[in-house]
Chain A
């Protein structure tokens, strides 16, 4: 269950950052991108996948969340 910071970069892409590992990747696919439900399965540019419990509304970014490695 890594602790992950989600933020938008200058180009408007969603960026996934694991502080402990200094691992920064852009998100290429988000299962529920909103409007409405936001979260679910996350796929990163390097191919790794994570699961984030969906929010009811798109949250205000940046935000630190716990995700599950798939």
Chain B
């Protein structure tokens, strides 16, 4: 059932009734029925606020934002988890950032480096240990281009001076060392980790080559890809599209990216900075615009409609050759995309999707679902800010639910009432909804599939959504002895 604005508001009120008065009052500010005409979100929804005690949140921590999203995927440097061993081990590889190269030689992202803090390090301080570790890394892996120190909670609590160690060791070994103050307790979610990590790029990486000449020649078609999701290879399916319209991609941040690409920016100023993940990389994009005069442009590579729109928007910033190339590339893929839509749309038409994902996937994938004839009836972000909601309202249909930092209770209540045909969220929600008998796709890691970006990715996306929704298992949710005689077997026949 698709709800209008009044019905959505009524549902929100019903869900809020369960909470104690004070909690209900707070949560009411995070829930909203969409009005696509809204321009600014700060009057109608509260975002980026601390989760309330007593309700379950799906958020991560600042360390997750810095290590997992911004620094973690940089492949030619060691991203050291500085603190107890668990944070590094549990966050290793979870986001499925694919990289090219040889492990231990050109790629270090698949290895887990940690300072393994013990009681004595907390009592006596861990700076000496950190210095020893950096020397050890440099001895064991001499081909690393640098080290980023990702602080875990204890580092901030005991007041270690990782900046001083970084400065000293950078001089000793002659490599870039980036101390990142991304202790987990900072901020309300992983969002602050993105910001802290962006600030360290600004302070510790970009200025390194400010006074140097570019080592390669620049062209008028140089672009930089920032904030590609790079889950299951997204960065590559975006990159080929940029290259096919005649642009030269001089760097990918941070998926399959290198420290050298980041440092290159200061010398080889690209003409345009293409920003996919606004939430995690907007800070550094704004800084580069101010310092180096590199303009930035947001784009969206999910689903053929949005891809065509984005390619035209990007091409409009360049000359006519690029614009002609963009039209040619769009036309080239048209037949292939039509075939995918013709195949999957009849199987997915009218299916309703409930999304609850991290920074900005919800608003980016709405277009892809609409290409397949599906509608998004509710969406929310774990760690968005108001500027994300500003950009979401117009993408979403009137009356759709919007929930900021939804609690597990709210999500379950919405799912029970709305009975969506598909839920897209993370691993923490997956099995709850499986047990409720609702098809589910993990949209944090593309459920071990991918890529979903670009034309290549849309084929995978459409197939995966079909696979989830039309899986015969959903016809088997009632025990055979509870089914009416004639209903047995129809689920399989429908899906086949």
Contacts and interface: CB of A to CB of B under 8 A. Distances in A.
Contacts of A7: 286, 289-290
Given A23-B386, A45-B40, A5 B48 contact: no
A43 to B, nearest CB: 15
A3 B321 CA distance: 41
A68 to B, nearest CB: 21
Interface in A1-52: 5, 7, 17, 19, 22-25, 45-46
Contacts of A45: 40
B286 A17 contact: yes
B40 A46 contact: yes
A63 interface: yes
Contacts of B289: 7, 62
Interface SS majority for chain A: strand
Contact of A22 (B43, B48, B290): B48
Contacts of B283: 19
Interface string A46-70: 1000000000000000111000000
Contacts of A25: 40
Contacts of B290: 5, 7, 62-64
B286 A62 contact: yes
A22 B286 contact: no
Nearest to B195: A19
Contacts of B40: 25, 45-46
Give the bracket for the number of chain B residues in contact with chain A: 10 to 19
Contacts of A46: 40, 42-43
Contacts of B390: 24
B286 A24 contact: no
A17 to B, nearest CB: 7
B136 interface: no
B385 interface: yes
A67 to B, nearest CB: 16
Interface string B375-397: 00000000001110010000000
A45 B43 CA distance: 12
Contacts, number: 26
B314 to A, nearest CB: 13
B193 to A, nearest CB: 14
Nearest to A10: B297
A22 B43 CA distance: 14
Contacts of A64: 290
Contacts of B43: 46
Contacts of B387: 22, 24
A22 B384 CA distance: 10
Contacts of A5: 286, 290
A45 B286 CA distance: 21
Contacts of A22: 48, 385-387
Interface string B281-292: 001001001100
B395 to A, nearest CB: 17
A15 to B, nearest CB: 10
Nearest to B385: A22
A5 B288 CA distance: 12
Nearest to A22: B385
Nearest to B279: A22
Interface in B301-359: none
Which interface residue of A23, A62, A64 has the most chain B CB atoms within 10 A?
A62
Nearest to A45: B40
Nearest to A20: B195
Nearest to B48: A22
Contacts of A63: 290
A54 to B, nearest CB: 20
Given A46-B40, A46-B43, A62-B286, 19 more contacts: A5-B286, A5-B290, A7-B286, A7-B289, A17-B286, A19-B283, A19-B286, A22-B48, A22-B385, A22-B386, A23-B42, A23-B386, A24-B387, A24-B390, A45-B40, A46-B42, A62-B290, A63-B290, A64-B290
26 contacts: A5-B286, A5-B290, A7-B286, A7-B289, A7-B290, A17-B286, A19-B283, A19-B286, A22-B48, A22-B385, A22-B386, A22-B387, A23-B42, A23-B386, A24-B387, A24-B390, A25-B40, A45-B40, A46-B40, A46-B42, A46-B43, A62-B286, A62-B289, A62-B290, A63-B290, A64-B290
State the 5 A-B residue pairs at the shortest beta-carbon distance, nearest first: A22-B385, A62-B290, A62-B289, A24-B387, A22-B387
